[in-house]
Amino acid sequence: MSLPRTLRIPADHREARVRPILVDQDTTPRQLVFRVIASQPWRTVPAGLLAVGHQLGEAMVPIIMGLAIDRAVATGDRGQLVLWVAALIVNFAVLSYSYRIGSLIGFTSANIVEHRIRLLVVGRLLHPRGLGGRRRQPGEALSIANSDTQALARSVALVVYPIGEIAAVLFAGIVLLLISWPLGLAVLLGAPLLFLTMDKLGAPLRRRSATRQATAAEAAGSASDLVSGFRVIKGLGAERAASARYEATSQAALRATLAANRSQAGFTGTMDAIAGIFLAAIAIGAGAQAMWGDLSVGQLIMVVGVAQFIIGPMGALSRNVGVVWAASLASSGRILEVLRQPFVTALPAFNGPAFAAGPVPVLRLDDLAGLSLTLEPGQTIVVRADPETTEAVTAALACRALPADGAITLDGRDALDLALEQVRSTVLVAAHDLTLFEGTVAENIALGTGGPATVSSLATAIAPAIHASASDDVLRVLRDGAETEVGEAGRSLSGGQRQRVALARALAAKAPVLVLVDPTSAVDSVTEQRIAERIPAVRAGQSTLVFTDSPAWAAAADRVIDLVGVPA
């Protein structure tokens, strides 16, 4: 098995100034968080500066009020009063707009980064070469692609809000230093100690955040499996066992979540208490100096106001750095676990099939999972095989897995010696459980053509595929015909209608070699016979391999290979 090479979380073509986020086998969770944080400096730097402006504006409020008391109220100077009231109004306008615009830029940056990370994670989960490592439930993969990417993207906020909060603490310390050097020195020396304490106390929170994310993903995966397999569970009478299993997983996730929340609450409460005690001592010291005559009334208001103000930034700093960092680090590790998994196949990367017109190759299978055949251009061969053999052969033909034994050749060349693009642009495997996408019937069928998907295009682009798959019968009963919305995963259509539309989509692609797996299992026998008779005609000159035990397909085929009836 091969490992993914360096991956790049690319910037959108409209985001040329956004730095790509590099991920390789040596990337650590901490490095990935730092790379995410530094990925959009042209957004995060202005947002951080605006956050600084907002925090400095908040700190200026008690300073302006103290100056107004000393220079206007205490002296009775109306001109000074008007001046300082105007200064207060301007200050409020600046701090308000700095917060609004800075937050807008910061949230925009986080959303863009989240989108880019999610594209990389989903691309790795759905890569045609497969995802190695341990088997993941669909719900767990969804949790990583959703919750973990969101938590990692939130780390962008660490270069926006904490910068403003640090600036506020430093500014408050300098102001207090100018008013009373003992108080200012206490703030400037005490703040770093507080941050070190915050980092030490945040270690348990980081561990519990990782456990919470993992158990939540496991619970989501269990729920997904339970829902998707409900009919089977019902048929086996295993509802109680399945319910008990999900309940146990859910309870484990609940316990982990409660433990992480308790840790977070304890961490935040402890840091707020420490900050409150520290700053209360500053206020008491200022009050004592005022009583001794070392501070004026206005200066006392400045000191108490500034001391009360920086409780907010210091508490927010502990939450932003501690909580957001812990969650980002935990999610970063889970995302890297997916991105660094080996590929299942050693075939090179492929951007997508493009079925171009040209000579149809001869497909030969030599003892591939026990199946040997030669499929000439224009032939239709039906293979009757057990599900395990069918899956092994179609997985190899679709380049989802390397063949365990046997060989695949196209015009005498081993498929393993060809680029994946050459194989996938020649062979199209239409699985039994093909899914439709949201949109109209015409849009779904035309996906394989790359052409227009309107009603006017049906006559030339996809009408033959619609007729051969008997989807014209479907269009006649639908209210809006080809423009009918199929809904999520095609759920507004019946099973037979979905199967025929999916078959029409596969036929419209005009692949040189088309492999069908039970393509008519959900339709009635009369419709099945019509489809089996029509497809060889619409596929004239091209090759078709059908895995089915249907007599109608056997009657229409050029050759039938029966592996089920062959003695082992």
**Which residues fall within 8 angstroms of residue 494, CB to CB, at 6 or more apart?**
none
- How would you classify the pairing of strands 543-547 and 380-384? parallel
DSSP state of 419: -
Q: Answer yes or no: are the C-beta atoms of 272 and 224 closer than 8 Å.
A: no
pLDDT digits 0-9 by tens, 262-294: 666 666 677 667 767 777 777 787 777 777 877
| DSSP-assigned states of every residue in 72-126 | IITTT-HHHHHHHHHHHHHHHHHHHHHHHHHHHHHHHHHHHHHHHHHHHHHHHHT
**pLDDT at res. 13:** 38
* More confident position, 202 or 551: 551
Average pLDDT, the chain: 77
Provide the residue type at 562 as one letter.
Answer: D
**pLDDT at res. 487:** 78
* More confident position, 509 or 19: 509
Question: Is 319 a residue whose pLDDT tops 90?
Answer: no
**pLDDT at res. 213:** 55
Picking from 93-107, 288-302, 347-361, 395-409, which range would have the lowest pLDDT averaged per residue? 347-361
Of 222, 60, 25, 55, which Cα lies nearest the Cα of 136? Answer: 222
Picking from 158-172, 315-329, 501-515, which range would have the lowest pLDDT averaged per residue? 315-329
| DSSP-assigned states of every residue in 454-509 | SGGGIIIIIHHHHHHTTHHHHHHHSTTGGG-B--GGGTTS-HHHHHHHHHHHHHHT
- How would you classify the pairing of strands 413-414 and 427-430? unpaired
Q: Answer yes or no: are the C-beta atoms of 29 and 336 closer than 8 Å.
A: yes
Alpha helix (H) ranges present in 180-238? 181-201, 203-228, 230-236
pLDDT digits 0-9 by tens, 447-501: 766 554 444 555 566 788 889 999 988 888 888 888 888 877 777 888 889 899 9
First to last CA, the chain: 31
Q: Do domains 7-339 and 363-562 have the same CATH topology?
A: no
3-state secondary structure of 333: helix
In which residue are the tokens 């229409």 written? 556
Q: Distance between CA atoms of 276 and 164, rounded to whole angstroms?
A: 19
Q: Distance between CA atoms of 407 and 391, rounded to whole angstroms?
A: 15
**pLDDT at res. 530:** 93
Confidence class of residue 519 from pLDDT cuts 50, 70 and 90?
very high
CA 94 to chain centroid = 37
3-state secondary structure of 173: helix
Confidence class of residue 25 from pLDDT cuts 50, 70 and 90?
confident
Residue 368 backbone dihedrals phi, psi, to 5 degrees: -85, 105
Q: Answer yes or no: are the C-beta atoms of 562 and 554 closer than 8 Å.
A: no
The whole model's pTM is what? 0.51
Most confident of 104-118, 125-139, 309-323, 482-496: 104-118
Output the CATH code of domain 363-562: 3.40.50.300
Most confident of 130-139, 244-253, 393-402, 544-553: 544-553
**pLDDT at res. 315:** 65
Q: What are the residue boundaries of the structural domains of the chain, listed by start?
A: 7-339, 363-562
Output the CATH code of domain 7-339: 1.20.1560.10
Q: Distance between CA atoms of 12 and 218, rounded to whole angstroms?
A: 32
Question: For residue 401, with 0-12 CB atoms within 10 Å meaning exposed, 13-18 middle and 19 or more buried, which class applies?
Answer: middle
Angle of helix 239-291 relative to helix 297-309, nearest 10 degrees, comes to 170
DSSP state of 7: E
What is the CB-side half-sphere exposure of residue 535 using CA atoms within 13 A?
39
* More confident position, 83 or 264: 83
3-state secondary structure of 36: helix
* More confident position, 213 or 151: 151
Question: For residue 448, with 0-12 CB atoms within 10 Å meaning exposed, 13-18 middle and 19 or more buried, which class applies?
Answer: buried
Which tokens is 173 given?
């310390």
Question: Which phi-psi region, left, alpha or beta, contains residue 484 (left: φ > 0; alpha: ψ -120 to 50)?
Answer: beta
DSSP state of 38: T
**pLDDT at res. 228:** 52
| Other Cβ atoms within 10 Å of 34 Cβ, number | 14
Q: Answer yes or no: are the C-beta atoms of 106 and 52 closer than 8 Å.
A: no
Picking from 97-111, 167-181, 193-207, which range would have the lowest pLDDT averaged per residue? 193-207
Which tokens is 308 given?
């009360």
pLDDT digits 0-9 by tens, 410-421: 888 887 766 566
In which residue are the tokens 């989960």 written? 125
Q: Distance between CA atoms of 24 and 299, rounded to whole angstroms?
A: 56
**pLDDT at res. 101:** 92
**pLDDT at res. 352:** 42
Element (H, E) at 169: helix 161-179
514: β partners: 428, 544
Q: Distance between CA atoms of 508 and 212, rounded to whole angstroms?
A: 47
Of 466, 429, 278, which Cα lies nearest the Cα of 353? Answer: 429
* More confident position, 197 or 106: 106
515: β partners: 429, 545
Task: Give me the mean pLDDT over the 74-80 stretch.
Answer: 86
